[in-house]
Amino acid sequence: MDNTPYSQVRIQAPIEFSYIFGDEDRVSIESVLCQCSREKLINLVVFLSRTYCNQPALKLCEMLSSNDPKREDLRNRIEHFFQWDAKPNVEYVVCFEPTALELLRYTFSIPFDEFDKTDNPSNIDQLQFQIVKLITQINEESMKYAINQKDSGNLYSLLYVNAASYYDILYYNAQNEYLAQLAQSTTFF
């Protein structure tokens, strides 16, 4: 086996909802987020970015309380996915920085008066599990890419736009973008 640099390509991909929850119903983003205060959600986004971005997918289980029976169920689901459905040479991670940004965008898209003001959710274990589902949903949505039928005839234009924006994409730093948007959002809101 060749052990020279770049002899094997390893791809990182976020763990997606359908990988571990299959055909289960998706959670309503707004209803989950409204169970917390906006300040708590901003803290969650910062914590998610610092602690869970680019971390192995099994670390997702740590988002649940240690005494929550769903924690072991989640671990079993992820391990089952790794055993039977995971693609080779893909390292599955909890999330990327864009997931934290999307969560922040959803948070600020909800009117302030719709958030819970008590900061004490009635069932914290259920809320934690719903947040895990929400993160995997956002991961799945961020990984979707498809050319619409109406755009399929315009493929040459799409290729040109792709080539023109290649420089911006090549030198894009998600961490810097996240920090800039977080600073702007806390100042603005």
Query: For 24-55, how does the pLDDT look when each residue is reduced to its tens digit (9 = 90+)?
Result: 999 999 999 999 989 999 999 999 999 999 99
In angstroms, the CA 113 to CA 93 distance is: 34
Q: Return the closest-CA partner of residue 92 out of 140, 134, 57.
A: 57
In a domain, 2, yes or no: no
Q: What is the C-alpha separation between 82 and 139, in angstroms, rounded?
A: 17
**Structural domain contains residue 4:** no
Please compute Rg for the chain using Cα positions. 19
Q: Which residues contact 13 (CB under 8 A, 6 or more apart)?
A: 87, 90, 91, 92, 93, 143
Question: Of the spans 1-10, 72-81, 103-112, 137-146, which averages the highest pLDDT?
Answer: 72-81
76-130 per-position pLDDT tens digit:
999 999 999 999 889 999 999 999 999 999 999 999 899 887 767 778 999 999 9
Whether the pLDDT of residue 56 is over 80: the answer is: yes
Residue 20 to residue 53: CA distance in whole angstroms: 18
In a domain, 99, yes or no: yes
* Within a domain: 61: yes
Distance in angstroms (rounded) separating the CA atoms of residues 21 and 110: 26
Q: pTM value?
A: 0.76
User: In this prediction, what percent of the chain has a pLDDT beyond 70?
Assistant: 81
Residue 8 binned pLDDT confidence (cut-offs 50, 70, 90): confident
CB of 5 closer than 8 Å to CB of 13: no
| Residue 68 reports pLDDT greater than 70 | yes
Task: Specify the number of domains making up the chain.
Answer: 1
- 117 inside domain: yes
The verdict on residue 6 lying in a domain is no
Helix (H) or strand (E) holding 91: strand 90-93
User: Which CB contacts under 8 angstroms, 24+ apart, belong to 85-89?
Assistant: 85/19, 87/13, 89/8, 89/9, 89/10, 89/11
Examine residue 143 and state whether it is found in any structural domain, yes or no.
yes
Structural domain harbouring 25 = 11-188
Tell me which of 127 and 183 has the higher pLDDT: 127
Look at residue 28 and tell me if it is in a domain: yes
